[in-house]
Amino acid sequence: MLSQTIDTFRKAFSFLGTIEFYLLLIPLLYWVVDVQLGMRILLVLISTDFLGIAFKQLLHQPRPYWVGDVKPLATETSYGIPSSHASDSLAVWEYLSYRLKKNWLWVVSALLVMLIAFSRMYLGVHFPQDVLGGWVIGLVVIIAFARGEAWALSWLKKLSAAGQIAVGFGISIAMILIGQLVVVLIASFPDPAAWAQFSTEARSTSHYFTLAGALFGTVAGFALMWRHARFEMNGSWGQRAGRYIVGIAGVLILYLALDVLFGLIAKDENMAGYLLRYIRYASVAFWATFGAPWTFLKAKLAQPVADTGASSTIEKGKPVPV
């Protein structure tokens, strides 16, 4: 009984490092707390996950239960180092602490990062060096954002919304091309045959299309939201809860419906499947960043921000803050 309780406890903390959890957390920040903070955290997560996947494939190292007498309490089909749970949790929670500058949040964040990391080792899916590698990735992303975001935002603010959307699309294509290059670079280094039953998706490029689509949808949605659907964070608790419920419902409907629809059209591991995956995640991110805020305003779940130039159009060429 005690062992089962500990297993459940560790799995719960492992969930706190998953993309599914961040899909619940980041919209809460974006729709209810601070739209710009939510946007930054989402970009931090996408950047960290992208680097994590690229380095997993470049290093192509096994997980503990692939090579040793380890009983896994969870299974994964990607390579081991760096741990995405470790990198994502450190990047998201420590960047959030950096932005909010709350002492208590630093403490809570550090505990969460440690517990998530230990949970992954306890579950048998990571070596200690995998966790350390993940922390390095997360730290690099935080430093890059802390030092570079002021310059990047200053440059982006000089662009029209159309220009910003074009930049987002260009970066998303670059992410896909980098992913293709990574897979080509490791093609001449095959995995041991003993890993085959475990590493079924280890060399897939589908993750790059996922992240690229999410990035494009995020940038495009935010640029349009700032002009046409910028909303106040205040309001009654009922309005705030309503925003979250309506927004998450839209995310889930799009996420699940497009998964079923596109699954009927093409298999995932071919170019058609990859493109549909890009569209799927771009659509979900676009809903979260623009579609949901626009709906909030129409449904009176939020009030528009006064004097923001929301009536202007992309064609007018006015810069949009990011």
In the Cβ-directed half-sphere of 192, how many Cα atoms lie within 13 Å? 8
pLDDT attached to residue 61: 94
pTM for this entry: 0.89
Question: Does residue 226 sit in helix, strand or coil?
Answer: helix
Q: Domain locations in the chain?
A: 1-156, 160-322
Using CA atoms of 301, 303, 305, 307 in order, give the dihedral in degrees to the nearest 10: 140
List the structure tokens of 192. 């041991």
pLDDT attached to residue 72: 79
> Would you list the DSSP string of 122-138?
HTTS--HHHHHHHHHHH
pLDDT attached to residue 149: 86
Q: For residues 276-315, b (16+ Cβ closer than 10 Å) or e, as one string?
A: bbbbbbbbbbbbbbbbbbbbbbeeebbeeeeebebeeebe
pLDDT attached to residue 4: 60
pLDDT in tens, 165-205: 999 999 999 999 999 999 999 999 999 988 888 888 888 99
User: For residues 115 and 121, what is the distance between their CA atoms, to the nearest angstrom?
Assistant: 10
> Would you list the DSSP string of 252-271?
HHHHHHHHHHHHHH--SSSH
Q: How far apart, in Å, are the Cα atoms of 50 and each of 56, 105, 255? A: 10, 26, 20
Residue 35 neighbours by CB under 8 Å, 6+ apart: 225, 230, 231, 233, 293
pLDDT attached to residue 268: 61
Q: Which residues of the chain have pLDDT under 70?
A: 1-11, 13, 263-269, 307-322
pLDDT in tens, 54-101: 999 999 999 999 987 778 778 888 999 999 999 999 999 999 999 999
pLDDT attached to residue 319: 41
User: For residues 81 and 207, what is the distance between their CA atoms, to the nearest angstrom?
Assistant: 16
Residue 11 CA from chain centroid, whole number:
20
